[in-house]
Amino acid sequence: MHYPVRGGVFRRTRQVCKAVDGVSFALEEGETLGLVGESGCGKSTVAKSVVRLLKPTAGNIVFEGQDITKSGAGDLRRFRREMQMVFQDPAESLNPRHTIGQILEEPFVIQKLGTTAERGEWSADLLRRVGLPEDARNRYPFEFSGGQRQRIGIARALALKPRLIVCDEPVSALDVSVQAQVLNLLLELQQDFKLAYLFIAHDLSVVQHMSDRVAVMYLGKIVELAPAVELYRNPRHAYTKALLDAIPEADPSRRRERRLLKGDVPSPINPPEGCAFGHRMSHPRWQESVGMDLRLRELAPGHWVQPCPCCVG
Amino acid sequence: MTEPLLEVRDLRVGFQTEEGLLTAVDDVAFTLESGKMMGLVGESGCGKSVTARTLMRLLEQPSGRVLKGEVLLEGRDVLTLPLEAMRRIRGKEIAMIFQEPMTALNPVHRVGRQIVENILLHQEIGANAALKRAVELMEWVGIPAPDERINDYPHQLSGGMRQRVMIAMALSCNPKILIADEPTTALDVTVQAQILDLIKRLQKDTGMAVILITHDLGVVAETCDDVAVMYAGRIVERGPVETVFRSPQHPYTKGLMGCLPRLDHPPKTMLPIIPGMVPGLRDLPDGCRFAARCPNPHGDEVLTERQPWKDCGGGHGVEACACFAKTL
């Protein structure tokens, strides 16, 4: 996914922002793929491209064997029954002027499903399913706490019985005790409805907890992709190691000297050639990665790593 | 016994609203020694930021009221000081940094000028000397090429660099206490690690005390000496970090620690949860405020009477609700 960055008098394209560059992955039924990385690494852009809220510059998105990359509005409406999204900020993704009932019935209205009575019944079912009282239907979003609003967001995503839900930072605005409740709800729903999740968060411990496999993104590229346990036990890419190292652990007996990363996440406008992380670390072998084929390689069964000499020893 | 640097006694703070007086902080007490880092943790609305703002006399006006209690800074009660005297303490003896450095910095002034402003306000030195001091401070907090960055506007800096500017500003007058209100919540984990490391290093260099307000138990475990856990306006447990994390006593502290996803746990397993949600300020019980969400069974008296504070030794104490006090 590339964005033109325009400038000058005639708004010519001066630079290209490569928000996401050469990302590939597959997701099975009932599986959770976690996507983790720091702000600006392109995780949300991937999320929006998958459900086609954005149109990728190049590449394909294939859903159940059908290429939806170039689909028009009509086709997409059909696919959106199957794929839904849960957003980070439930306060901003729920219309403040609609009652919860209206919000939950809107997917049925758009898809022309059911009668008014049926829609009401369905929305009541949805509320029960996510642990909210039925009478919530007549109330407005502001009457609910952050955690409850996120439950409403999840209920709306469930309305059309999708097979894939893209969760973009679903718990990062929530307090820890509420976060645990929402994570448990997502796990239950996945088991009950055989949902696949693309689960995006910046918090590696949350992603690790929710996922079968985890992909680590850095500056628009996936640098490592592995089963969750394997990634934690045996990280191969230097960036994954740095990310794991930076997580504060809630256990003072395991306090340790951390290896601190220097500098900030660089801008995706004109990213460096070769391995971007090796470049940030001024690694002596970074130069070797320029011009190399940096597509992921399978180093162990299911464990894919960007094979740059600077970050993978 | 020597006098502690800061002693907070029975602090109660409320807000006058259309629905009457709501108590946000209810009889909070703690002491802070110099050179120590204390973590104040709790979920949103538990009163941790209100407590911090009260220490700085920065309560939202006109609704905020201190209803009771004392805040003794080396024996002087800062709550009763005249405003003029308070102004000399604020920024000089107690300094504060905030969660979002973009809103705490003035967007239309260069960062150098903002650091210099604080120096000139509290120290009798000339403008050139202040500027030189600002460059030194920026170098001290790890800003590369400080003599160039000093002319930048806040929007030209990254989030981590902005927080470093805030820290430079806060430390410009060698405060005795630094209050850091969620200083790393808006930052990425790798940058968070840098900033926490910086605060620890500066604390060691200067011997100042730090109150670190956060919702992140991991941050507390990694950086603080002591911790106070707040729930619905009250401190429910406090003590040295090692003790509280090794043997938490209050069911809320236990619940909070249990519900964190951990890297070394198997993925896709159910987390232990604290059911329900934090009660609103309007309907707080007089007794144990955690009772409605607590896994232990309760008698009625627990809900109507404030439960006694119990000392567990070694500086570890807990609000000993009848539901678990027998096991202490």
d(CA B180, CA B192): 13
Task: Provide mean pLDDT across the span A166-170.
Answer: 94
Contact B192/A at CB under 8 A: yes
Do residues A16 and A4 lie in contact, with contact meaning Cβ atoms separated by under 8 Å? yes
Do residues B209 and B241 lie in contact, with contact meaning Cβ atoms separated by under 8 Å? no
Contact B274/A at CB under 8 A: yes
* More confident: B220 or A75: B220
Return the minimum-mean-pLDDT range out of A16-25, A169-178, B5-14. Answer: A16-25
Contact B197/A at CB under 8 A: yes
Do residues B8 and B28 lie in contact, with contact meaning Cβ atoms separated by under 8 Å? yes
Contact B280/A at CB under 8 A: no
CA distance B144 to chain A (A): 10
Share of chain A above pLDDT 70, in %: 95
- Whether B43 and A175 lie within 8 Å, measured CB to CB: yes
Q: B179 forms bridges with which residues in the sheet?
A: B96, B211
Chain B residue numbers with beta carbons less than 8 Å from the beta carbon of A251 are 221, 245
Q: Which of A183, A232, A248 sits opposite B216 (nearest CB)?
A: A248
Q: What pLDDT, in 10s, does the model give residues A241-294? A: 999 998 888 888 877 777 778 777 777 777 888 898 988 888 889 888 888 888
Q: Could you tell me which of A285, A290, A265, A263 has the C-alpha nearest to residue A275? A: A290
pLDDT of residue A58: 83
We find that the CATH architecture of domain B6-93+175-263+271-325 is 3-Layer(aba) Sandwich (3.40)
Helix (H) or strand (E) holding A303: strand A303-305
Q: Could you tell me the pLDDT band of residue B1, with boundaries at 50, 70 and 90?
A: low
pLDDT of residue A205: 92
pLDDT of residue B68: 95
The beta strand positions in B50-116, using DSSP E, are 64-73, 76-77, 94-97
Give the distance from CA A5 to its chain's centroid: 24
Q: Are strands A32-36 and A213-218 parallel, antiparallel or unpaired?
A: parallel
Residue B40 has pLDDT above 70, yes or no: yes
Q: Which of B190, B221, B266 sits opposite A250 (nearest CB)?
A: B221
Chain A residue numbers with beta carbons less than 8 Å from the beta carbon of B272 are 180
Residue ranges per structural domain of chain A: 2-305
d(CA B45, CA B79): 23
Q: Could you tell me which of B249, B289, B221 has the C-alpha nearest to residue B46? A: B289
Q: What pLDDT, in 10s, does the model give residues B257-287? A: 999 998 888 999 999 999 988 888 888 888 9
Q: Could you tell me the pLDDT band of residue A4, with boundaries at 50, 70 and 90?
A: low
Amino acid, single-letter form, for residue A172? S
The beta strand positions in chain B, using DSSP E, are 6-17, 20-32, 37-41, 64-73, 76-77, 94-97, 177-181, 209-214, 226-231, 234-240, 309-313, 316-319
Laid out side by side, the sheet with B76-77 consists of B20-32, B6-17, B64-73, B76-77
Chain B residue numbers with beta carbons less than 8 Å from the beta carbon of A247 are 189, 218, 263
* More confident: B62 or A13: B62
Give the distance from CA A256 to its chain's centroid: 30
- Whether the predicted interface score ipTM is above 0.85: yes
pLDDT of residue B103: 84
Q: Which of B273, B274, B283 is the best residue to mutate to test the A interface, defined by the most A CB atoms within 10 Å of its own CB?
A: B273
Q: Could you tell me the pLDDT band of residue B294, with boundaries at 50, 70 and 90?
A: very high
Q: What is the mean pLDDT of chain A?
A: 89
pLDDT of residue B61: 86
The beta strand positions in B189-267, using DSSP E, are 209-214, 226-231, 234-240
Q: Which of B161, B191, B265 sits opposite A209 (nearest CB)?
A: B265
- Whether A258 and B193 lie within 8 Å, measured CB to CB: yes
pLDDT of residue B25: 96
Chain B residue numbers with beta carbons less than 8 Å from the beta carbon of A202 are 188-189
pLDDT of residue A2: 67
pLDDT of residue B250: 97
| A2-305: CATH superfamily | P-loop containing nucleotide triphosphate hydrolases (3.40.50.300)
* More confident: A3 or A47: A47
CA quadruple A116, A121, A127, A132: dihedral positive or negative? positive
pLDDT of residue A102: 95
Residue B112 has pLDDT above 90, yes or no: yes
Q: What pLDDT, in 10s, does the model give residues A142-162? A: 999 889 999 999 999 999 999
B27: left (phi over 0), alpha (psi -120 to 50) or beta: left
DSSP state at residue B278: P
Chain A residue numbers with beta carbons less than 8 Å from the beta carbon of B268 are 32, 187, 209-212
Do residues A214 and A290 lie in contact, with contact meaning Cβ atoms separated by under 8 Å? no
CA angle A239, A242, A245 (to 5 degrees): 150
Residues 6+ apart with CB under 8 A from A150: A86, A90, A170, A171, A173, A174, A178, A182
Q: What pLDDT, in 10s, does the model give residues A186-196? A: 999 999 999 99
Q: Is B42 strand, coil or helix?
A: coil
Amino acid, single-letter form, for residue B328? L
Residue A1 has pLDDT above 70, yes or no: no
pLDDT of residue B56: 93
Q: What pLDDT, in 10s, does the model give residues B238-265? A: 999 999 999 999 999 999 999 999 888 8
pLDDT of residue A13: 64
- Whether B189 and A206 lie within 8 Å, measured CB to CB: no
CA distance A107 to chain B (A): 29
Q: Which of A167, A176, A256 is the best residue to mutate to test the B interface, defined by the most B CB atoms within 10 Å of its own CB?
A: A176
Residue A7 has pLDDT above 60, yes or no: no
Share of chain B above pLDDT 70, in %: 99
Q: Hey, what are A105's tokens?
A: 């019935």
Q: Delimit the CATH 3.40.50.300 region(s) of chain B.
A: 6-93+175-263+271-325
Residues 6+ apart with CB under 8 A from B191: A38, A264, B158, B159, B160, B184
Q: How many CB atoms lie within 10 A of CB B285?
A: 16
d(CA B142, CA B168): 10
Q: Could you tell me the pLDDT band of residue B106, with boundaries at 50, 70 and 90?
A: very high
Name the residue of chain B whose CA is nearest to A243's CA.
Answer: B190
- Whether A252 and B160 lie within 8 Å, measured CB to CB: no
Q: What is the mean pLDDT of chain B?
A: 92
CA angle A77, A82, A84 (to 5 degrees): 85
Q: Which of A223, A264, A277 is the best residue to mutate to test the B interface, defined by the most B CB atoms within 10 Å of its own CB?
A: A264
CA distance B42 to chain A (A): 9
Contact B246/A at CB under 8 A: yes
Residue A8 has pLDDT above 60, yes or no: no
Instruction: Using alpha carbons, list the distances in angstroms from residue B198 to A226, B163, B201, B296, B323.
Output: 33, 11, 5, 41, 42
